Amino acid sequence: MDHLISPSLLAADFTNLESEIKMINRSEADWLHLDIMDGVFVPNISFGFPVIKAVKKVAAKPLDVHLMIIDPDRYLTRFSEAGANNLTVQYEACTHLNRTVTEIRKLEMKAGVALNPHTPVSLLKNILPYIDMVLLMTVNPGFGGQLFIRESYNKISELRKMIDSGGYNILIEVDGGIDTTNASKLIETGVNVLVAGNSIFGSADPEATIKKLKRLI
């Protein structure tokens, strides 16, 4: 399959949020990525349900929601009601991960599991049959604009082998420091979905940057 682009709304201009979303609608982006942070699991706070519901009213692309929060089980139904199409939880935040991803799927969302940079992909072995996507954080989560951690290529390669050898239909998504300088290598290593924030919204022509990431010109 062709790789997907999921621009991260965290890097958008929040004083012009509607126009930023409409730009994504016009673009060749596939999804719209929303990072939900609680100030506890990560040292930052982003946005909650009122913003997600407002975004859903304008967005023409599926909402790709990443929960960087403790005890995400409390809110799964509310994220579904707010309009999430994909819901990704952090491995490190889930005590009963199988129960969590099973509930996400019951709520008719695609279930994803995210790993922090220090968490080995081998820990996913027993959960792979129950999920649709793995999100590998390629920076330490919490803030945008960080440099890509180059050791991530080894994790991507290892995860791709695990998925392929098991015959699973699972997407590999990466988030953190993604731009036009490393996108091609990431795809070659086995990535299916590129999340990009600053490199898109901070560029002079965001739509052109999305097109370049999508087509790898």
CB 186 within 8 A of CB 160: no
Question: Tell me, what's the pLDDT at 157?
Answer: 98
Question: Tell me, what's the pLDDT at 141?
Answer: 80
Residue 132 bears catalytic tag: no
CB 12 within 8 A of CB 51: no
In angstroms, the Cα distances linking 125 to 89, 133, 198 are: 16, 13, 32
Give the neighbor-by-neighbor strand order of the sheet with 32-37.
Answer: 4-7, 193-196, 171-175, 133-137, 110-115, 86-90, 63-68, 32-37
Spatial CB neighbours of 197, under 8 Å, sequence gap ≥ 6? 7, 8, 9, 10, 11, 33, 144, 145
Which region holds residue 2: left if phi is over 0, alpha if psi is between -120 and 50, else beta? Answer: beta
Annotated active-site residue in 38, 132, 175, 179: 175
Annotated active-site residue in 35, 64, 132, 179: 35
Residue 175 bears catalytic tag: yes
Query: Domain span at residue 110?
Result: 4-215
User: Is this model's pTM higher than 0.85 or not?
Assistant: yes
- Among residues 123, 119, 121, 87, the alpha carbon closest in space to that of 104 is found at 87
Mark out the alpha helices in the chain (DSSP H runs).
Answer: 17-26, 49-58, 76-82, 97-106, 152-166, 183-189, 198-201, 206-215
The CATH number for 207's domain is: 3.20.20.70
Question: Tell me, what's the pLDDT at 216?
Answer: 84
Number of domains forming the structure of the chain: 1
Residue with tokens 């919204």: 201
Question: Tell me, what's the pLDDT at 217?
Answer: 54
Going from the first residue of the chain to its last (217 residues), give the mean pLDDT of each consecutive group of 10, the final group possibly shorter: 93 96 98 96 93 98 98 98 98 97 98 97 97 96 78 97 98 96 96 97 97 88
CB 143 within 8 A of CB 152: no
Cα–Cα distance between 201 and 205 in angstroms, integer? 8
Residue with tokens 């994790």: 155
